[in-house]
Structure 1
Amino acid sequence: MTETFSQSCSSLFLKICESTLGILAILTSFTFILNFVPASFLHKYGHYFHPLLIGIVIIAILGGLVYAHLWHEKENAGAVNSGIRHAVLQGVIRYWLAYSISVYGFAKILKTQLQSPEFNLDIPLGELSGFALTWYYFGYSYTLAVILALFQVGGSILLLFRRTTLIGVMVLLPVMVNIVLINMFYQIAAGAFFNSVIYTISLTFLLLLDFQKLKTAFWDLVEKLPRVSDKSGLLKNALRVVVIAAAFCTIQYYVVTAKTDTVLKGTWKVEKLIKNNHPLGPVAWLTDSKAWNKVYFAGWNGCAFSPNPYRYKADESLTGSYEFDSLKNNIRFVHPSPSYADKRMDTLVISVRNRTPKSMQLHFVMNHDTIEMQLARLR
């Protein structure tokens, strides 16, 4: 074991990676002071933060290359104890990761992270940024936030001990990969994205240091149970393909057979509503629940007629499922009957006229009321 480790320590590439990450850890540690400066300072000088991060990365890479080259030359000359240097640098990386990641864990527990400002709650869902959506989604359940925090803090504690470093890495790496993807595709702040990337790279580096252990544990060890297959293994391989193919075909069957509307799907504004040959005014919805102002066609998620022009609430709206027949130009709308106690469903046939991609007219009779609606597509 000692011989194997000393051989791996002679790799210049290992030294470059280790030195770069070690310098990066030291330099980024100085940025933690920003957590304690007044908010006014960050607002005034925050625009310098991105160039600072880029500068730190450049210095770490250049410093890592220079330090690793000098170290490698001294090692070849027998003038340096590489084992101690590896231990120190890996220790710096482990302790830096433990502090950095556990900070995010405690932020979730102490509710300084994943807390949405009150004004976000009054923004329409479709107008929220990816950052606001993510914060509200993960902050909706404090229990989930604590569970995520326990993984981050627990994994960080494991990093502080050499014997449990590999376990800590295996706990934290899936969490950090998930956070990187969220930060990338939901447009989370650049600083958070930068941190998540370098933490993930550093954890991956620590994981690969034990590549031989992982290969032995997950690849080389042979299961002791007897084989249940033909000698060639063709039957078992075919069964493996069938299992995955069956999963795909299950959903594909639903997609093909489900009657999904793609023509009407979207949000429509009611520009004109006529009930029993009497036009309804723009504020009629305040006293008449059938004075609809918006119609939502959402495919297999159903359909909703909403009286409120400013926001949608299910208990105020007429909701149900629908099927659109493009040949007959009509909609079969199935909705709960007015008497909810009997739990029956009513079917309403709606005639669609003068349909274009941007507008259409709906005509139907509901509870002895003749309804005519002129719709314009919003989105």
Structure 2
Amino acid sequence: MKQVLAFLTQKHLYLGMTRYLLGITMIPYALTKILRTQFVLTGFALTELQSLESMSGTTLAWAFLGHSVWFQVLLGFLELIPAILLLFRRTTLLGAMLMLPVTLNVFLINYALDLWPGTKVIASALLILNILALVFEWAKIKSLLIVIIGRGIQFKLTKVETAINIVAIALVGYVASEPLIKYRNQRNALTGDWPSQQPVEWLLEKEESADSTLASRDLKVYFGAYGKYDESGASSYTHAAYTIDTIKHTITLKYDGGNVVNCKYEMFSDGKLKIDRLADSSKNIAVSQYFTRRIINSNRDE
């Protein structure tokens, strides 16, 4: 009985169970990537008629991960090599350490992109197994960490090094963050909340000129950050730069060909936009365009 209890309390027993379960489970996942049979979308899942907004997170994730053939195969080998290493006692620690970024990445992708409930459970279980394997090998890891961080070694000018690093980090952080913060603040009533992935597109309802309603056409306009303006129709796309004066309610459009168009705009509380512009400056023909605001990703789950 004592021998049985002694056997059941051995760390190597549970380490062996953990590493074999993790390694054997990961091998099929690795092979399905190497053979390019995992990240596959068929039929109607990806059509040109679908916009990014209408696609589910799972579809986008699968399309992204399967877009590059060599990257998908590489992911497979990054799973296969640690899985094989886990099956041998001599390379267990190396396999567990190489596997941790893989299982952690799979876990984060599943929950961040809100993939299927079943894959979330599997990803969580694999990560737990990986962490358990490292816990069982903690004594080796601790010794390795002591060597890596140079514990017990005396370094000269450590206070000077710390001060220099603090200044360097603060300086680089400020230089890198300042333009990014300025970029995020580039928004107005026409752009929408694009930093939160909810920009605005303006859909043309009608056009009027000289008290006459022009023939309807498909037109969407977008006002973006840093004065980027885009028009898209059924078979056309136009890019321009814009400046807006919120006090005078004017918009100046500078098209790629050098043409400059000055417009007056008016916004209404019900999400409507009116833009008055000259359709033909030589004939002084004015056109009034009426748009409806649509918030892209308005139903997006945060």
1:235 to 1:190, Cα distance in 2 relative to 1, 3 A: same
* 1:331 maps to amino acid: I
Structure 2 CA distance for aligned equivalents of residues 373 and 323 of structure 1: 18
Structure 2 CA distance for aligned equivalents of residues 208 and 113 of structure 1: 31
Task: Determine which of 193, 202, 205 is the counterpart of 1:271.
Answer: 205
SS class of match (1:140): coil
Gaps of 5+ in 1: 1-73, 285-291, 338-344
Q: Report how far residue 366 of structure 1 moved.
A: 5.5
The 5-angstrom pairing of residues 321-336 of structure 1 reads 321-336=241-256
Structure 1 CA distance for aligned equivalents of residues 168 and 231 of structure 2: 42
Gaps of 5+ in 2: 192-199, 296-302
Task: Determine which of 269, 291, 298 is the counterpart of 1:375.
Answer: 291
Q: Which has the higher helix share?
A: 1
1:180 to 1:321, Cα distance in 2 relative to 1, 3 A: farther
Task: Determine which of 46, 64, 68 is the counterpart of 1:141.
Answer: 68
Structure 1 CA distance for aligned equivalents of residues 10 and 228 of structure 2: 64
1:186 to 1:167, Cα distance in 2 relative to 1, 3 A: same
The residue number in structure 2 matching 1:18 is none
* 2:25 maps to amino acid: S
TM-score (norm 2): 0.81
1:374 to 1:211, Cα distance in 2 relative to 1, 3 A: same
Q: Report how far residue 281 of structure 1 moved.
A: 2.2
Task: Report Cα offsets for 1:230-288 as digits up to 9, x if no partner.
Answer: xxx43322322233323432243214544612321111111112467653323x4xxxx
Structure 2 CA distance for aligned equivalents of residues 144 and 331 of structure 1: 45
Task: Determine which of 124, 137, 142 is the counterpart of 1:215.
Answer: 142
Task: Report Cα offsets for 1:97-147 as digits up to 9, x if no partner.
Answer: 112112111112223211112312233210111111101111111111111
Matched residues, percent identical? Answer: 23
Structure 2 CA distance for aligned equivalents of residues 152 and 109 of structure 1: 10
1:249 to 1:194, Cα distance in 2 relative to 1, 3 A: same
Structure 1 CA distance for aligned equivalents of residues 211 and 156 of structure 2: 75
Q: Report how far residue 186 of structure 1 moved.
A: 1.1
Task: Tell me whether 1:320 sits opposite 2:233 in the alignment.
Answer: no
SS class of match (1:112): coil
Task: Report Cα offsets for 1:35-56 as digits up to 9, x if no partner.
Answer: xxxxxxxxxxxxxxxxxxxxxx
CA RMSD of aligned residues (A): 2.8
Structure 2 CA distance for aligned equivalents of residues 189 and 112 of structure 1: 18
Q: Of the two structures, which has the highest relative contact order with CA contacts closer than 8 Å and spacing of 6 or more?
A: 2
Structure 1 CA distance for aligned equivalents of residues 181 and 260 of structure 2: 24
Structure 1 CA distance for aligned equivalents of residues 273 and 26 of structure 2: 55
Conservation of the 8 A alpha-carbon contact between 1:330 and 1:351: yes
Q: How many residues align?
A: 280
Q: Which has the higher strand share?
A: 2
Conservation of the 8 A alpha-carbon contact between 2:34 and 2:74: no
* 1:252 maps to amino acid: S
Moved >6 Å (runs of 4+):
223-226
1:267 to 1:82, Cα distance in 2 relative to 1, 3 A: same
